[in-house]
Structure 1
Amino acid sequence: MAHIPLNHPARPIYRVLAGLIGLYILVFGVWGTARTLGDPLFDRGGAWVLGLRTNLAFALVSVVFGAFLLVGASRRGNLGHYMNLTAGVVFLVTGILMMSVLQTSANFLSFSMSTVVVSMLFGLILLSTGLYDKVGPTDHAEKGQHDRCHPVADQHRS
């Protein structure tokens, strides 16, 4: 973890980006829940909401995950950092797994290829935001910045 920058100057931008993704997922989940309410939980027909196919189960999971991301984006400490890293990995793994079962009966979340692409894109963005929004003491951040800018000079001091 020595290469993860502390107190990155663009940290507020990354938090806003993660918050916007969380807001999109929350709106998608609420709208998807309203559209699929009354359908079977794992219906494979799928309704289309905001350009993505969903069923009631996926919509409910999206509400929880969207709220999770909004909480992470609103935290000033390292909680948001770890939440974004975790969410990024979850989105990437989910996208890959659901793509592998896209045309089978195992597609229980009623994913479409557009949903897979959005999941992968959100995963990459959240992973990136998680890598750049770590907070630490100023002296650790300055030492890390110095080590990144002068890696060879420090090796000769040892």
Structure 2
Amino acid sequence: MTTEAPRRHPVHLVHRVGAALLGVFLCVFGALGFASASSLFGGDGDVVLGLGTNGALATVSVVVGLVLLVAAWWGDPISSTVAMAAGGLFLVSGLVHLAVLGTGWNIFAFGFSNIVFSLVVGLALGFLGAYGRLSGGLPPDNPYRRAHPLGSKRPAPEEQEAAESVSAEEQEMLEAEMAMGEGHPTPRQEELVAREMAEQRRREHRRAWRNVREREDDGGSQR
């Protein structure tokens, strides 16, 4: 007997793909930086893929890229958490280097293109990492909603979907009754109302029958 592997939710795929793509880019950028860097620190670095770099930045890029690749391979919540954390670091790096641009504190040879890259990638990683995790109104099958501490107090996805389907049926019945009252029902609405009235007659008949049986039982017990 074979067991079916648990289905990966699409939201996890978004987190993993986002982390993996940036991880690959940073590793390639770092490797090219190692090959062309003429110094370890300093603002007069080389340009690789349109971005300034030196030995220190190449090292950091490879380390961060490997962390993102490991997180993408690990998957599930890890890739989301690492992507959001890396996005925050990229944003901070971009703002800090904007302040030290053109000074002796620019030890990673950042140029203006590096700052734009850090800010854009930081926002993108933050969005991808938070996608389907921090937004409100999560769908019933969302893995982060199901794993939330309040998940035990929420209806199961199957129950919520069933409740939503019942609400849709009630809405359809209400619209059918309104159309009947206004005198312009569709054949489908006429069928729904006729079916509901027949069901109500059956319920009333069963209720009356139970009442008769209960009175008979009460009369027999008193005798």
**TM-score range, shorter-chain basis?**
0.7 to 0.9
**Could you tell me the percent identity over the aligned residues?**
37
Q: 1:15·1:129 contact (CA, 8 Å) conserved in 2?
A: no
Determine the structure 1 residue equivalent to 2:26: 25
Task: List per-residue Cα deviations over 1:63-107 (Å, max 9, x = no partner).
Answer: 101111111112222111111111010000001000111011111
Name the Cα RMSD after superposition: 2.7
Mapped to 2, the partners of 1:41 and 1:78 lie a distance apart of 35
Moved over 3 A (4+): 7-11, 133-146
Mapped to 1, the partners of 2:24 and 2:128 lie a distance apart of 15
Mapped to 2, the partners of 1:138 and 1:53 lie a distance apart of 42
Task: List per-residue Cα deviations over 1:97-151 (Å, max 9, x = no partner).
Answer: 00111011111111000000011111111111110265737745895997xxx9x
1:32–1:133 CA distance, 2 compared to 1 (3 A): farther
Determine the structure 2 residue equivalent to 1:59: 58
Q: 1:19·1:73 contact (CA, 8 Å) conserved in 2?
A: yes
Shift of residue 25, structure 1, vs aligned partner: 0.8
Q: TM-score, normalized by length of structure 2? A: 0.56
When Rg is computed on C-alpha atoms for both structures, the one with the higher figure is: 2
Determine the structure 2 residue equivalent to 1:49: 48
Q: 1:11·1:132 contact (CA, 8 Å) conserved in 2?
A: no
Q: How many residues align?
A: 139
Q: 2:87·2:124 contact (CA, 8 Å) conserved in 1?
A: yes
Letter in 2 for 1:121: V
Q: TM-score, normalized by length of structure 1? A: 0.77
Q: Which structure 2 residues correspond to residues 1-158 of structure 1 after superposition, within 5 A?
A: 9-36=10-37, 39-132=38-131, 134=133, 136=143, 139-140=146-147, 143=154
Answer 1 or 2: higher relative contact order, Cα 8 Å, separation at least 6: 1
Q: Which runs of 5+ in 1 are unaligned?
A: 1-6, 151-158
Letter in 2 for 1:30: A
Q: Which runs of 5+ in 2 are unaligned?
A: 1-7, 134-141, 165-223
Higher helix share: 2
Shift of residue 15, structure 1, vs aligned partner: 2.1
